[in-house]
Amino acid sequence: MPRALSEQETEAFRERLCETAAKLYVEEGPGAVTMRRLAADMGVGTMTPYRYFENKEAIVTAVRTRGLHRLCEAMEHALDSPGDGRTRSRAVRDAYIAFAHANTATYRLMFEYPETNQDDPGYREAHRRMWRNIAAHVEVMIAEGNVDADPAILGHQIWAALHGAVMLEIAGMLPEGYDAASLHTRTVSALLEMARPKP
């Protein structure tokens, strides 16, 4: 009888499954992500993945859920850094970019493909956490009196600009001399100027 895996070993295997699925999803498309292919790429028995996830949709949901929580954790840590609101907002931006660079396959799976997992409670909570993070750094600037705006709307504008810059950087399509951070800085400067409180 095979040895029962510890909780830590089980979690490590789940994480490997998620990483393998994200890589396949991005490199070869959704059709490549099958339980049989995952087992083959990981060098395990065909039925092994089913011990950890019900089906491939559950794995994709897990990739997105875990990815969102890790991204939010990085952003929350950055927002807790010292400095004024603008400085802390830049720290959040840098944490976001660093996550996308370090976890490119997961990042792309999180945001490139249509959502199919809105009914999963864990994913919904991760989604809500992301929405809170989108507004949180803007709320700091509003509290300081430097911005007059709806934090959710301005947060989404800033995020849309950041996501676009990150995706262009990943694709190697930014203008020469620019990276995601420098391009985003120029865009956010314009947005914050428009959101400056009226005298």
Q: DSSP class of residue 59?
A: H
CB half-sphere exposure, 116, CA atoms < 13 A: 13
Q: Are 54 and 22 in contact (CB under 8 A)?
A: no
Within 8 A by CB and 6+ apart from 179, the residues are 169
Q: Looking at residues 60-87, what average pLDDT do you find?
A: 96
Listed ranges 4-18, 44-58, 77-91, 100-114; the one with the highest mean pLDDT:
77-91
Q: How confident is the model at residue 7 (pLDDT cuts 50, 70, 90)?
A: confident
pLDDT value, residue 197: 94
Q: What rounded mean pLDDT belongs to the chain?
A: 93
Residues 116-123 have a mean pLDDT of 84
Predicted local distance difference test score (pLDDT) of residue 59: 92
Give the Cα separation of 68 and 110 in Å (integer). Answer: 8
Domain regions of the chain by residue span: 7-194
* CA 58/CA 131 separation, integer angstroms: 22
CATH code, 7-194: 1.10.357.10
Rounded Cα distance between 88 and 91, Å, is: 5
Residue partners of 26: CB distance under 8 A and separation at least 6: 104, 105, 108, 109, 112
Q: For 109-130, what is the mean pLDDT?
A: 87
pLDDT at 30: 86
The pLDDT value given to residue 195: 96
| Per-residue model confidence (pLDDT) at position 198 | 87
Average pLDDT over residues 130-152: 97
Give the confidence band of 199 by pLDDT, cuts at 50, 70, 90. confident
CB 112 within 8 Å of CB 100:
no
* Predicted local distance difference test score (pLDDT) of residue 3: 55
Neighbours of 114 (CB within 10 A): 5
Judged by average pLDDT, the poorest of 27-31, 129-133, 165-169 is 27-31
Q: What is the pLDDT of residue 4?
A: 63
Q: What's residue 191's pLDDT?
A: 96
pLDDT score recorded for residue 1: 42
Cα dihedral: 180, 76, 61, 128 (round 10): -110
Tell me what pLDDT residue 165 has: 97
